[in-house]
Chains A and B, each alone.
Chain A
Amino acid sequence: MTGALPVALGNYVALASVMFFIGVVGVLVRRNPLVMLMSIELMFNAANVLFMAFARAWLQNAGQIFAFLVITVAAAEAAIGLAIVVAVFRSAATVDVDEVRSLHG
């Protein structure tokens, strides 16, 4: 098996960039906090694609370890984010992020 990637490295960078961009647009455009959290997950996964591709390109375990840590942090972030959504829904009686202003200070 040769050391070359299935496709050139730049294609993975392009795929991850497009995915990250879609995630950014989702966070900016949507008002539903659940969909915003899912868009954040998309961005986490875009970063993971890059870690995997570069780990494979230079045959470094550190990239895969880092992707593993990113998955762990994403799990913690999703749990806390969803807990905040549930708490806000209970107290503010809405799930529209434009109507939740009590945290603005």
Chain B
Amino acid sequence: MIAFWIVGAIVVASAVWTVTARKPVYSVVGLLINFAALAALYLSLSAEFLAVIQIIVYSGAILILFLFVIALLSSGVAPFAQGPNRLPRIVVPAVAIVAVALVGLVAGINGAAILTPSVSPSGSPLGPVGSAGVFGSVADFGKALFTTHLLPFEVTALILMVAVIGVVMLAGDQTPYVGSSKQAARVERQAREAILRGGDR
């Protein structure tokens, strides 16, 4: 119970930091804290496999990808630091509306009765996280993934293959839009000089 509020505070605070940090690297750090806290939240919801996946895929793969791109784009130039520089005029009324809606939503959902069954469709009971064969364990998740939900899993493989091909087509070519590599080098030099002159306009 108290763990939810601690994790929730960390999640919200790190999300705000992610959005408001001046440098993208700080945003990545905020996102890392956010994802670690979410993994803890998933553990409290008996989703041990997905808590581990959250750490491995999000923190281990996606955030490192972000870091690589930040390092690639800002190598040799000042870090392109841009703060929240669009005037957030709509934020204050939007926050008010969302807050009112949230109170109603929470009250409505908490008033509804939830009848948690004792056994999941895959035949696994609820139990302590880490025990064998309980709901959300690796065996339970794998059984559901490879029997009932096999087709979505195969479609996932297709999505990843299309993404890899698309990334190679988009960024694999050294000179995608400009004519020669000499011209590309000139464009890139101009970009760095422009950022150095005052990228943070």
A→B interface (CB under 8 Å): 1, 3-11, 13-15, 17-19, 21-23, 25-26, 28-32, 34-35, 37-39, 41-42, 45, 48-49, 52-53, 55-62, 64-65, 67-69, 71-80, 82-87, 89-91, 93-96
Contact = CB atoms under 8 A, between A and B. Distances in A.
B170 A19 contact: no
Contacts of A89: 73, 191
A14 B184 contact: no
Contacts of A69: 152, 156
29 contacts: A5-B114, A7-B1, A7-B4, A8-B106, A10-B107, A11-B110, A15-B11, A17-B102, A29-B91, A34-B66, A34-B70, A39-B18, A52-B42, A52-B45, A57-B116, A59-B117, A59-B126, A61-B122, A62-B144, A67-B47, A68-B145, A74-B58, A80-B167, A82-B66, A83-B166, A85-B73, A90-B178, A95-B73, A96-B201
Contacts of A53: 45
Main SS class of interface, A: helix
A78 B167 CA distance: 10
B167 A83 contact: yes
A43 B108 CA distance: 23
Contact of B102 (A7, A18, A35, A68): A18
B121 A65 contact: no
A81 to B, nearest CB: 9
Interface of B: 1, 3-4, 8, 11-12, 15-16, 18-19, 21, 24, 27-28, 31, 34-35, 38, 41-42, 44-47, 49-50, 53-54, 57-58, 61-62, 65-66, 69-70, 72-73, 80, 82, 84-86, 88, 90-91, 94-95, 98, 101-102, 105-110, 112, 114, 116-122, 126-128, 135-136, 140-141, 144-145, 148-149, 152-153, 156, 159-160, 162-164, 166-167, 170-171, 175-178, 184, 187-188, 190-191, 194, 199, 201
Given A25-B88, A32-B24, A93-B188, A86 B35 contact: no
Contacts of A49: 38, 41
Contacts of B162: 76
- Interface centre among B50, B127, B128, B190, by most chain A C-beta atoms within 10 angstroms, is B50
Contacts of A93: 187-188, 190-191, 194
Nearest to A44: B58
A95 B73 CA distance: 9
Which 3 A-B pairs rank lowest in CB-CB distance, beginning with the nearest? A3-B116, A93-B191, A76-B163
A86 to B, nearest CB: 5
Contacts of B171: 82-83, 86-87
Given A29-B86, A61-B120, A95-B80, 11 more contacts: A9-B109, A10-B106, A17-B102, A23-B19, A42-B34, A49-B41, A55-B47, A68-B145, A86-B170, A87-B176, A94-B194
